[in-house]
Structure 1
Amino acid sequence: MEEILFSELLKSLKEANDIAEGMSEASRRFEITLPDVQSVREQIGLSQDEFASMMRVSVRTLQNWEKHRRNPTGSAAALLKIVVAAPDVALKSLHS
């Protein structure tokens, strides 16, 4: 059994290498589009300090998102989607 699993793992690694080197196409591709953080912040009318505080991140992190040097991930990305979808609910919930 272990030999079969190792063989399948090795095959997967070879396929991944071929894809990374452009010798093969990936079977599927996911593209995630994140909202523009600066636009979201400006639409709800918060300063960088206020928005960073609401998102529970440092102002520096927020600035990196706004300048596209970094992207929000995990719970920050999820919260940002909520802010876009329902800014009034998000603001009310996070300020209480």
Structure 2
Amino acid sequence: MEQALFDDLVQSLKEAKAIAHGKAPASRRFIVEKPDVKVVREQIGLSQSEFARLMRVSVKTLQNWEQHRRHPSGPAAALLKIVLTAPEVALKALHA
């Protein structure tokens, strides 16, 4: 590894440590909105059992999301955003 590249990497790690310990502000912050699962489900007109089957989760998990006891994360949150943004495309792809 080139020395300049190594020095940049070390500097980045030092900055990350300072940010993690609250000694420096982050240069960027991303806020990911949690989707309102019930609103998404109601917009596409599916029952809880139908939507749970579509999302490939249990009805209990879906109910926990809708009642805000739990929040979808990772792929489930991404899929919900797709369903909210382009429901026709999402439904077509998921039913295929």
Give the TM-score taking structure 1 as reference length. Answer: 0.69
Give the TM-score taking structure 2 as reference length. Answer: 0.69
| Alignment of structure 1 residues 6-85 onto 2, 5 Å | 7-66=7-66, 67=68, 69-74=70-75, 76-85=76-85
User: For residue 52 of structure 1, what is the amino acid of its counterpart?
Assistant: A
TM-aligned CA deviation for residue 92 of structure 1: 4.2
Quote the Cα distance in structure 2 between the aligned partners of 1:60 and 1:7.
50
User: For residue 31 of structure 1, what is the amino acid of its counterpart?
Assistant: I
Deviates more, 1:63-72 or 1:4-13: 4-13
Q: Which runs of 5+ in 2 are unaligned?
A: none
Q: For the aligned residues, what is the CA RMSD?
A: 2.7
Quote the Cα distance in structure 2 between the aligned partners of 1:3 and 1:68.
50
**Percent sequence identity over matched residues?**
64
Deviates more, 1:57-66 or 1:36-45: 57-66
1:86/1:10 CA distance change after superposition, 3 Å: closer
Deviates more, 1:28-37 or 1:48-57: 28-37
TM-aligned CA deviation for residue 58 of structure 1: 2.5
